[in-house]
Amino acid sequence: MKKIFCLAVLFFGLGLAAKAQSDTTLQQYTGKYKFAEGSIVLEAVVALENGSLSVNTSAGGSPLEKQSDDIFIITAFQGTAVFKRNEARKVIGVSIKAMGYELEGRKEDEITALLKKLSRK
């Protein structure tokens, strides 16, 4: 009986660790992405909710399904989002192809966002 209980606790713990790892991995994509003036979408917000990524824009929102490293399917718009990284492997942008449009966005980092908020006050 003790062995069964220990195994159950072990599997439960491993499941929680795997979910936490997945959430941490997906967290790197979250944030605000800015697109060029005149684009159909000027801004996209990628958020992590209940272990899944989603994107929201002025054109609507959609879940993001991971296809492979840094490549996600934008399910509601039959498109793809390819996240770009710098030399330090930090996510710095996104390339979106959906509904016949191609957009290149730059990730707004935390410092820039904070400076914008402070300058508005």
pTM value is 0.73
The closest of 34, 35, 76, 37 to 53, measured between CA atoms, is: 76
Condensed to tens digits (0 to 9), the pLDDT of residues 11-66 reads 444 343 333 334 568 999 999 999 999 888 999 999 999 999 999 999 899 999 99
Structure tokens at 52: 């899944």
Question: Residue 50 is part of which domain span?
Answer: 2-120
The closest of 76, 70, 79, 74 to 99, measured between CA atoms, is: 79
120 versus 115: the higher-pLDDT residue is 120
Cβ count within 10 A of residue 57: 20
Looking at the predicted structure, is the pLDDT value of residue 71 above 50? yes
- The domain total for the chain is 1
CATH number (domain holding residue 62): 2.40.128.50
Q: From the centroid of its chain, how far is CA 54?
A: 7
Alpha-carbon distance of 79 to 41, in angstroms, equals 14
Alpha-carbon distance of 80 to 65, in angstroms, equals 9
pLDDT of residue 119: 73
Structure tokens at 21: 């790892």
